[in-house]
Amino acid sequence: MTLSRLSLFTSLLFVLTVSCYVKAESKEYWTYQEYMNAFPEQQQREQTFAERVRQPVTEKSSKIATPLNIAMLTPDVQASDYWWRNRISMARRLQEMGIPFSLTSYSFQPATTMRQQEQLLADALKSNPDYLIFTLNALRHRVLVEKILARGHPKLILMNITTPLKHWQHNQPFFYVGFDHREGTRQLKEAIKKMLGSEANYLMLYGTRGYISEVRGDEFIRLTATNPGYQLRNAFYTDVKPDIARQAVLQALNDDKDINLIYACTTDIALGAADAVKQLGLQNRVILNGWGGGIAELDAIAKGDLDITVMRMNDDNGIAMAEAIRLDQENKPEQIPLIYSGDFAIVDRHTPAAEMEQLKAHAFRYSQ
């Protein structure tokens, strides 16, 4: 097992260049807010749709007789429960609405090779699904998606991404659904600042090289780059594997005793980092965040293993996919936004137990 490490010099240089890098990346896609500003009619549509997602089903659909064929390819072989919970919440919402369907799931790890993912995609397409749920985290994903868009079938739902690619222009996927990573990172940064004050020496733990590391990790660096009290001391790519995250933390904290914040980009990374912090007995000196607020993270916060996270109202996404499919089948495309982004809440070790239970009840209202 090896660590994919950025040297301290590279890390410090990264602080100086990340703002330019992020701006360059925005030429590839609209951020969520950029898109809404550019297309104000989409903002109103998304707000109306979001209210639909928050509300319970009021009446069943009577217009869909033939079962829909849905295929779902997701990197759900990890500790984060985001993916499988949204599979369950989508299915249960469709059932509540009286929509007949079959759902076939194809699971893989975040670090699964593109060749293996391409084979899974080919397997999924053999069944000629009406809707294909996939993700977009790397350049090769973009190539695979473009092949599907060129076919014109199935209708493509890109999950865990809220930033439309400009290159696709008017040939966009059917639906982007997720939680705006930049907004979640902004909220998390503000909460960490309240916890630590204006100074921090931090270690960055990325997942795989790609979109999620950029919009969670690079974005945190960009947001703190103008604050001279926040110093990036080192960074590692972990392939979203807890053992690699644990090893990275042990190495970094051994090399640099001044680190007092570990920024983890995903649940698995945070849990691996927590093991290392406990092993070193530094729980009271090093702040460690999660990202996503699934049950594993919330349990870790309750036990004192994590300090803070940005919690997604998880089942919003599954419900949104079901509602978009229903509206599409009922020939109401004018009610479907191109992007849907779910709600967040900040949770930390001081969050009252009663409040935590209320958040869980809403976030996991279909999947618990």
Structural domain contains residue 305:
no
Domain of 88 in residue numbering reads as 32-179+314-341
In a domain, 161, yes or no: yes
301 within a domain of the structure (yes/no): no
What pLDDT score was predicted for residue 9?
35
Residues 363 and 347: their CA atoms lie apart, in Å, by: 13
Q: Same domain, yes or no, for 158 and 188?
A: no
Residues 174 and 91 occupy one common structural domain: yes
- Is residue 366 situated within a structural domain? no
pLDDT value at position 79? 76
Selection from 39, 125, 37, 82 nearest residue 316 by Cα = 82
Please state the rounded mean pLDDT for residues 16-30: 54
**Same domain, yes or no, for 79 and 133?**
yes
What whole-number percentage of the chain has pLDDT above 70?
A: 92
Determine the 3-state secondary structure of 243 from DSSP. helix
**CA 149, CA 141: separation in Å to the nearest integer?**
12
- Rounded CA-CA distance 96/304 in Å is 38
Q: pLDDT tens digits for 185-222? A: 999 999 999 999 989 999 999 999 988 999 999 999 99
Cα–Cα distances (Å) from 194 to 270, 336, 348, in that order, read: 20, 38, 11
Same domain, 168 and 113: yes
Lateral strand order in the sheet of 261-264 = 4-6, 230-237, 200-206, 261-264, 287-288
Same structural domain, 113 and 8: no
- DSSP element (H, E) containing 114: helix 114-126
39 and 146 assigned to the same domain? yes
Tell me phi and psi for residue 136, to 5 degrees: -145, 100
Task: Examine the domain organization and report whether 175 and 318 are in the same domain.
Answer: yes
Chain length of the chain = 368
Cα-flanking dihedrals φ and ψ of residue 50, to 5°?
-60, -40
- Report the number of distinct structural domains present in the chain: 2
Q: pLDDT tens, 273-325?
A: 999 999 999 999 999 999 999 999 999 999 999 999 999 999 999 999 999 99
Q: Averaged over 48-68, what is the pLDDT?
A: 91
Both tokens assigned to 173: 């996927």
| 46 and 123 belong to one structural domain | yes
Mark whether 141 and 36 lie in a shared domain: yes
CA dist 144 and 73 (Å) reads 12
Tokens of 290: 């999660």
Q: Based on the domain organization, do 71 and 143 belong to the same domain?
A: yes
Distances in whole angstroms, Cα of residue 42 to Cα of each of 33, 65, 273, 343: 11, 30, 40, 17
What tens digit of pLDDT does each residue of 60-94 get? 887 788 999 999 998 877 778 999 999 999 999 99
Cis peptide before 100 (omega within 30 of 0): no
The strand pairing partners of 70, in sequence order, are 103, 131
In a domain, 309, yes or no: no
Residue at a domain's end among 276, 291, 306: 291
**20 within a domain of the structure (yes/no):** yes
Q: What is the CATH number of the domain that holds 168?
A: 3.40.50.2300
Task: Specify if 110 maps to a domain.
Answer: yes
Are residue 38 and residue 86 in the same domain, yes or no?
A: yes
pLDDT digits (tens, 9 = 90+) for 141-152: 787 888 889 888
Output the pLDDT for position 347: 98
Tell whether 100 and 175 lie within a shared domain. Answer: yes
Return the amino acid letter for 100.
P
307 domain residue, yes or no: no
